[in-house]
Amino acid sequence: AKNEAQAYANDVIPRAVGSASRLKEEADAYKARIVAQAQGDAQRFKSVLAEYQKAPQVTRDRMYVDTMQQIYSNVTKVLVDSRSGSNLLYLPLDKIMQQTQSGADASAAAPAPSTTVVPPVSSTSDSRSRDATRSRERETR
């Protein structure tokens, strides 16, 4: 019985030590990745802050346009609400892009003009959108 216990200990202890070592290495790698990402985010914020201090309105507008480009690059349909009336404009971008591509295939020699949808510029900025995407990034880890 003593030999069986010794054999069991000789089998289990090295595996446990190896598993603990692997977990420690993974934790250290995760820590390094998170610290590097936080430092990068802080540096990016400092550079945006410097730009903002030089020209606040230009920086706000640029950030808004960049965000809208990022959002609309992943969208296939857009609904535009008219503030003056109750008309609702529906833009099926997926169908428009298909028509543009089929037109480009038919006239391969002539380049097709690209369709760009520009949303109405709003003077109010939503600070929650950046926080929401950051929290979504953290949830996926």
pLDDT in tens, the chain (141 residues): 889 999 999 999 999 999 999 999 999 999 999 999 999 999 999 999 999 999 999 999 999 999 999 988 888 877 777 777 667 777 777 788 788 888 777 666 554 444 455 555 444 444 444 554 454 454 454
Alpha carbon distance 139, 133 (integer Å): 10
Rounded to 10 deg, the angle between the 56-72 and 2-54 helix axes is 130
State pTM to two decimals: 0.47
Q: Clarify whether residues 85 and 134 are in a common domain.
A: yes
Query: What is the length of the chain?
Result: 141
**Are 89 and 113 within 8 A, CB to CB?**
no
Could you tell me if residue 123 is inside a domain?
yes
Domains held by the chain: number: 2
Q: Clarify whether residues 81 and 50 are in a common domain.
A: no
Could you tell me if residue 5 is inside a domain?
yes
Q: Clarify whether residues 4 and 44 are in a common domain.
A: yes
Q: Clarify whether residues 85 and 138 are in a common domain.
A: yes
- pLDDT in the model for residue 125: 44
Could you tell me if residue 89 is inside a domain?
yes
Could you tell me if residue 64 is inside a domain?
no
- pLDDT in the model for residue 78: 76
Residue range of the domain that includes 129: 76-141
- pLDDT in the model for residue 123: 44
